[in-house]
Structure 1
Amino acid sequence: MGELSELFAPERIAVVGATDREGSVGDAIMRNLLDSFAGEVVPVNPSRESVFGRTALDSVGEADADLAVVVVPPDVAVDVVREAGETGIKNVVVITAGFGETGSDGAAREQELIDVATAYDINLVGPNSLGIMSTPVGMNATFGPEDATPGRMSFMSQSGAFITAVLDWANDQGIGFKDVVSLGNEAVLDESDFIRAWGEDAETDVIIGYLEGIDDGQKFIETAREVTGETPIVLVKSGRTDAGAQAASSHTGTIAGSDEAYETGLEQAGVIRAESVQGLFDAARVLESQPLPAKDGVAIVTNAGGPGVMTTDAIGDSRLSMASFEDATLDAFSEALPPEGNIYNPVDVVGDADNERFREALDVALGDENVGSGLVLACPTAVLDYEGLAEDAAALQEKHDKPVAACLMGGKRVERAAETLSAAGIPNYFDPARAVGGLDALAEFRDISVREYEAPRTFEVDRERAREILSSVEKRADTRLGVEAMGLLDAYGIETPAGGIADAPVDALEIAERIDGDVVMKIVSPDILHKSDIGGVKIGVANEDVIDAYEDLVSRARNYQPDATIIGVQVQEAVDLDEGVETIVGMNRDPQFGPLLLFGLGGIFVETLEDTAFRVAPVSESEAEAMTREIDSAPLLRGARGRDPVDIAGVIETIERLSQLVTDFPAILELDINPLVATPDGVEAVDVRLTVDPDKL
């Protein structure tokens, strides 16, 4: 399993703070380990001669252990970890709380813990951890009340309490685990480290987890992408608030809340995000045991019309589809079913169907080339034996090597049949929507597993010019830049209309005279974000009206906000909006995932319609192209209602160039190009707004 192999397969474990005092954490860990661990358990406690009849050592340095589990007070724990490192122990689990979760003093202790672990190259779990488990060696190094049933899922959680609840429930459900990790404060090892380790572990078929946050989103995406080609990852991520957007001043920042970054980051990483704990295990169980479907078509075989309709609705809400049967299949159904049966999908074998009729119909359905997976849906009747139906479903799943989900509805009469199905790797669900959800997870992972990730394109740009423009905020009280930073886009090859910024009426006229036709004029002020709302934009200004327009724009700005900083007036070549589509390309820097790109319908409707797509930068050409397809208004770009399609390639390249810009300069906290006008002949960035952190330049 790579560098964490000894963490999950130690031969000798030292429990530092071991005791047999009932009700203590040290007592619970010792009891759990002594109950089933295949190796040797060494208690370390200088205050005791023995613990559970085993000689207690005075220090961890005497233990000669592969793994140390630390249960001493926080002010002692750091010294224990240091001594473990000095004596060559490479794996440590710190159960002790009282670190970063408790305030500044605890945070300082945690940093010291990190420094020690780094100095001695220690794989450290925690602190503030419930502990870890690994069923192949019988190791339960936790203070939880339940051991894990052996299985082929590996499970991590940022909540120790969630682990105890899950294990209690999973044991009743017959769900097993290979490894279990309570991540705690993740001072050293985090979710990405365990994903990498379990991705290399031949005994882990599915990785599952509960996360409240991800500290290093870029590392997470890179690591998960390496794993999900072979091993599925299913996570519950709690917290769907927009807290990340509270301080945002741009359109992108307003729209892109914290959950958009997680949703996007997990999708780009190839992770299946479950909406609930039930969904987590519904997906994990089927991924652990079922083959992947070659096609999205599902065949439903049922003895109940109503539940069949419910299941059809659920399929309509998923990535799956109702399979269309071949003519030979329909002929076979006609011979096998009574006249009142339905030979089309969902196949209704009628309420009086016995096991033979059900088995024959399922066999025919799974044999159809258009069917990727099957769903057995039944309600109890006097002529149907559920256990026999379960045996038939298991045999036919193996015969056709296609995934099968079961929805044998009922109570006690289902129990033995469900056990038969479970033994064959077929989950049984009471709710048809959950059965569809399981099959949908298989199709989702099939698509993930065949993804090919491209490297982002790198464009020739003028980084020094860009840096110079961004550095202009160092001389200003405000860290926001507007159209005065249009040269930043030029430096990165993003097309902008001809024009410039004038700080006097005569200068405005000089710029206008260099432009063919009427011009657009806009007030330039970092304090006035929505210029059109105050009449700060004039369109179609002829040369003879430029001076008056300049003075009027400045006057309007002064009346609106007397203390506003007025940089001048932008004079710009007019862009024909009738021939194009106003879009927005933007970025908001997420604290965990970094630059979160946005593309969508722009102009004045951006915040009203919020027709947007997101990606974490840097993005490849195919990812940028996908963003242009995902918005609801995508048909406007590709030619709807007789309009000519816009320059999609130009839009895609603009997204890529912006991706490179915000990746090159972490100082850019948020940025909007709005509108980016896309026409059949090209794209032009008409307006820009950004916020810069001068300390990161």
Structure 2
Amino acid sequence: MGTLSALFAPERVAVVGATERPGSVGRALVENLQAGFEGDVVPVNPNYETVCGLPCVDGVGEAGADLAVVAVPVSAAVDVVREAAEAGIENVVVVTAGFGETGGEGAARERELEAVAEEYDLNLVGPNCLGIIGTAVGLNATFAPRSAPSGSISFLSQSGAFVTAVLDWAADHGVGFENVVSLGNKAVLDESDFVASWGDDERTDVIVGYLESIEDGRRFVDVAREVTRETPVVVVKSGRTEAGAQAASSHTGAMAGRDRAYAAGLREAGVIRADTVQDLFDAARVLAGQPIPDTDGVAVVTNAGGPGVMATDAVGDGPLSLADFGSATVDRLRDRLPGGANVYNPVDVIGDADNDRLRDAVDVVLADDAVGAAVVLAAPTATIDFTQLAADVADLQSRHDLPVTTCLMGGERAREADDVLEDAGIPNYFDPARAVGSLATLERYREVRDRERPEPTTYDVDREAAAATLDRARDRGATRLGVEATPLLDAYGIPTPAGEVVDSPTDALDAAERIGDPVVMKIVSPDILHKSDIGGVKVGVAHEDVYDAYEDLIARARNYQRDATILGVQVQEQVDTESGVETIVGTNRDPQFGPLVLFGLGGVFVEVMEDTAVRLAPVAETEALAMTEEIRASPLLSGARGRDPVDREAVAETVGRLSQLVTDFPEILELDVNPLVVRPDGVEAIDLRLTIEPES
């Protein structure tokens, strides 16, 4: 696959399927290209001599093009792409539908298309897409009703309809683009390819996207992690609900559902996730137009108390903080503002302020070392000229080189000012919270850019012992394992209580004698996942009661499920849980992103509380420590109600070791350690269950 820069900057474009028929895709493509493309446009259709006044050729091989846009019936599309490839055309956009999205025959046809692209090393967009735009050369190779204004944002979308809506909106809101691509079915080029290419494009300041799926999550993470060191990436990912997670067999599977996987993957990639389309383009505009702040201190300057309070609340709700002005700044404000003004943050210049007073206040606060960014808010008054205010703010922002957003709360009076601010790259909003939210986006990207990315620790483990445990399970046809798989944890250095799995009451007595009173006894069956729900766990069993407890556990299991496979009973050392906190560490293998690792509050109510943090495996210990701080129950780990703080480092090591285990053994699909009892002096894995593939 060649470089994608030529895809958006061709010299000669062939439109295969061009036609004079009004309302047709083939005609719209030609007309859109004629409207602004700096190169040559060649219609391809043996049934016409000319299309839209341009001479036609019979076949794409005669066009001499370096980009072919294919809009022919689906039955001919693969042959046309092969013909283009044989003519040396390396860049192809297939707008034709009727491929994989239709299933059956269409899916087979899409595989043929992929094979041709692989054979000839094509850069192929689509099929079933709207097309592409490259504003640097005026290229609009889409059938959208309007093109994109020029700018420094590159935009990808899995929905062609969304592209048309965004282009229409952008033209009215001063948002410009460098490149636009409708991904379609992503038969060849996908989101990772474009993010990688645009990350190297000096004309692209921000990459934004609308995604419904990511085909190869691990590749996307690897690509975006490098790109986001220099270029912000912001996406809206649709499909937050995951009904399938409810059917997962493990706690981790239920809680680390598909959206949690995407959230973890995007976080690891350094991608900023927007919740709405409005958030997406608010982020894009501020990242494209404003510098990244060095600190999170925000100054608020306003001529209206109410909007100032709203902005202050928005600062408190997010990652930013109100800047604490130095005494020199306060003195300068006091000298320049009337007695009724507030010279502390937020600065209120009061309602009779004119343009000079507002300008002076903004100039003073931007000079303060504690200020990393500013929000300027103004309600319309007879003493304020919004257009002049916009020019003043643009000038001050440029001179101080600090990010500024504005909230000029007006209608007609604010429109001309809005144009001035747009030209300066300063976002203007009617809502103070959006103005603050845009600055918060800059702070989020600064964290991404500056984030340390340590390599996960590689622990000294016994892989052979772990492999033997999994082999024994497969030999007996098991795919679901419980405490009989405890040797897996032992092999990877995760502490477990002393215990044995026995298959007779006599052996249970012997095991209890070796372990010491009292013991915990648990039914061992891959078919009974929730042992406590059927009374399959007995705690505090004295030596004289072990025999009867064994018999009772077996009977309960048989009564619950007569055909259940029962491997015996685990006799285990009783662990003091009172001095610790019951947590869960688990993994779930996602089809796109691979193994996820989850940590959170554990015990019998784990799915009720749903208090967890998720990361992609393998997990570095610094990230594992961050997971312990991220959950709502973090104060419990810090020693709430007079308890001693637990050993968070031991938790982080356990997370790291477990993530290494599931990375080493991809046949482990799901694994729960629940509870993992965390105490001041370490951790102990009390119970586990896992699901493995039937064949490695």
TM-score normalised by L of structure 2: 0.97
Query: Which secondary structure state, in structure 2, belongs to the residue aligned with residue 246 of structure 1?
Result: helix
The 2-side partners of 1:527 and 1:399 are apart by 70
The 1-side partners of 2:94 and 2:665 are apart by 38
Match of 2:538 in 1: 538
In the alignment, does 2:108 pair up with 1:103? no
1:244 offset after TM fit, Å? 4.2
Match of 1:570 in 2: 570
The 1-side partners of 2:212 and 2:224 are apart by 17
The 2-side partners of 1:452 and 1:140 are apart by 40
In the alignment, does 2:679 pair up with 1:679? yes
1:540 offset after TM fit, Å? 1.7
C-alpha offsets along residues 366-409 of structure 1, whole Å, 9 cap, x if unaligned? 11111111111110111111111111111111121111110000
The 1-side partners of 2:179 and 2:244 are apart by 33
Kept in 2, the 8 Å contact 1:153–1:207? The answer is yes
Per mean C-alpha deviation after superposition, the further-off stretch among 81-90 and 179-188 is 81-90
1:426-437 to 2 correspondences below 5 Å = 426-437=426-437
Match of 1:248 in 2: 248
C-alpha offsets along residues 499-526 of structure 1, whole Å, 9 cap, x if unaligned? 1100111111222222134211111112
Identity of aligned residues (%): 67
In the alignment, does 2:294 pair up with 1:265? no
1:2 offset after TM fit, Å? 7.5
Match of 1:69 in 2: 69
1:478 offset after TM fit, Å? 5.4
The 2-side partners of 1:139 and 1:298 are apart by 41
Per mean C-alpha deviation after superposition, the further-off stretch among 664-673 and 127-136 is 664-673
The 1-side partners of 2:469 and 2:501 are apart by 14
Q: How many residues align?
A: 696
1:480-629 to 2 correspondences below 5 Å = 480-629=480-629
The 2-side partners of 1:668 and 1:101 are apart by 32
The 2-side partners of 1:576 and 1:204 are apart by 58
Query: Which secondary structure state, in structure 2, belongs to the residue aligned with residue 151 of structure 1?
Result: strand
Q: Which amino acid aligns with 2:549?
A: A
Kept in 2, the 8 Å contact 1:473–1:694? The answer is no
Q: Which amino acid aligns with 1:88?
A: G
Q: Which amino acid aligns with 1:23?
A: G
1:475 offset after TM fit, Å? 4.7
The 1-side partners of 2:95 and 2:297 are apart by 48
1:555 offset after TM fit, Å? 1.7
The 1-side partners of 2:124 and 2:467 are apart by 40
1:203-222 to 2 correspondences below 5 Å = 203-222=203-222
Q: 1:439 to 1:530 in 2, by over 3 A?
A: same
Per mean C-alpha deviation after superposition, the further-off stretch among 323-332 and 114-123 is 323-332
Kept in 1, the 8 Å contact 2:376–2:406? The answer is yes
C-alpha offsets along residues 64-98 of structure 1, whole Å, 9 cap, x if unaligned? 22111111112211111122222322111111000
Per mean C-alpha deviation after superposition, the further-off stretch among 551-560 and 161-170 is 551-560
The 2-side partners of 1:195 and 1:431 are apart by 31
Kept in 2, the 8 Å contact 1:131–1:141? The answer is yes
Query: Which secondary structure state, in structure 2, belongs to the residue aligned with residue 340 of structure 1?
Result: coil
Match of 1:387 in 2: 387
Per mean C-alpha deviation after superposition, the further-off stretch among 153-162 and 52-61 is 52-61
Match of 1:146 in 2: 146
Match of 2:238 in 1: 238
C-alpha offsets along residues 508-552 of structure 1, whole Å, 9 cap, x if unaligned? 122222213421111111222221222211112222221111111
The 2-side partners of 1:2 and 1:402 are apart by 39
Per mean C-alpha deviation after superposition, the further-off stretch among 45-54 and 99-108 is 45-54
1:175-186 to 2 correspondences below 5 Å = 175-186=175-186
Query: Which secondary structure state, in structure 1, belongs to the residue aligned with residue 598 of structure 2?
Result: strand
Q: Which amino acid aligns with 1:124?
A: L
1:301 offset after TM fit, Å? 0.6
TM-score normalised by L of structure 1: 0.97
The 1-side partners of 2:659 and 2:408 are apart by 50
Match of 1:653 in 2: 653
The 2-side partners of 1:681 and 1:2 are apart by 56
1:661-672 to 2 correspondences below 5 Å = 661-672=661-672
1:434 offset after TM fit, Å? 0.7
Kept in 1, the 8 Å contact 2:2–2:123? The answer is no
Match of 2:341 in 1: 341
Q: 1:431 to 1:416 in 2, by over 3 A?
A: same
The 1-side partners of 2:369 and 2:2 are apart by 41
1:168 offset after TM fit, Å? 0.8
1:255 offset after TM fit, Å? 1.4
Match of 1:85 in 2: 85
Structure 2: runs of 5 or more not aligned? none
Match of 2:282 in 1: 282
Per mean C-alpha deviation after superposition, the further-off stretch among 438-447 and 335-344 is 335-344
1:13 offset after TM fit, Å? 1.2
Match of 2:94 in 1: 94
Q: Which amino acid aligns with 1:30?
A: V
The two structures, once aligned, show a CA RMSD in angstroms of: 1.6
The 2-side partners of 1:467 and 1:15 are apart by 57
1:645 offset after TM fit, Å? 2.4
Query: Which secondary structure state, in structure 2, belongs to the residue aligned with residue 15 of structure 1?
Result: strand
Query: Which secondary structure state, in structure 1, belongs to the residue aligned with residue 4 of structure 2?
Result: helix
1:458 offset after TM fit, Å? 1.8
The 2-side partners of 1:207 and 1:188 are apart by 20
Q: Which amino acid aligns with 1:498?
A: A
C-alpha offsets along residues 429-462 of structure 1, whole Å, 9 cap, x if unaligned? 0001110111111111111111222222222333
Match of 2:113 in 1: 113
1:473 offset after TM fit, Å? 4.5
The 1-side partners of 2:73 and 2:406 are apart by 51
Q: Which amino acid aligns with 1:388?
A: Q
The 1-side partners of 2:110 and 2:476 are apart by 38
Kept in 2, the 8 Å contact 1:355–1:385? The answer is yes
Kept in 1, the 8 Å contact 2:521–2:571? The answer is yes
Per mean C-alpha deviation after superposition, the further-off stretch among 463-472 and 157-166 is 463-472
Q: Which amino acid aligns with 2:530?
A: H
Q: Which amino acid aligns with 2:555?
A: S
Q: Which amino acid aligns with 1:617?
A: A
Q: Which amino acid aligns with 2:245?
A: A
Kept in 2, the 8 Å contact 1:2–1:197? The answer is no
Query: Which secondary structure state, in structure 2, belongs to the residue aligned with residue 614 of structure 1?
Result: strand
Kept in 2, the 8 Å contact 1:243–1:258? The answer is no
1:470 offset after TM fit, Å? 2.4
1:609 offset after TM fit, Å? 1.3
Per mean C-alpha deviation after superposition, the further-off stretch among 156-165 and 13-22 is 13-22
The 1-side partners of 2:35 and 2:307 are apart by 47
Q: Where does structure 1 differ by over 6 angstroms across 4 or more consecutive aligned residues?
A: none
Q: 1:478 to 1:254 in 2, by over 3 A?
A: same
In the alignment, does 2:405 pair up with 1:405? yes
Kept in 2, the 8 Å contact 1:521–1:569? The answer is yes
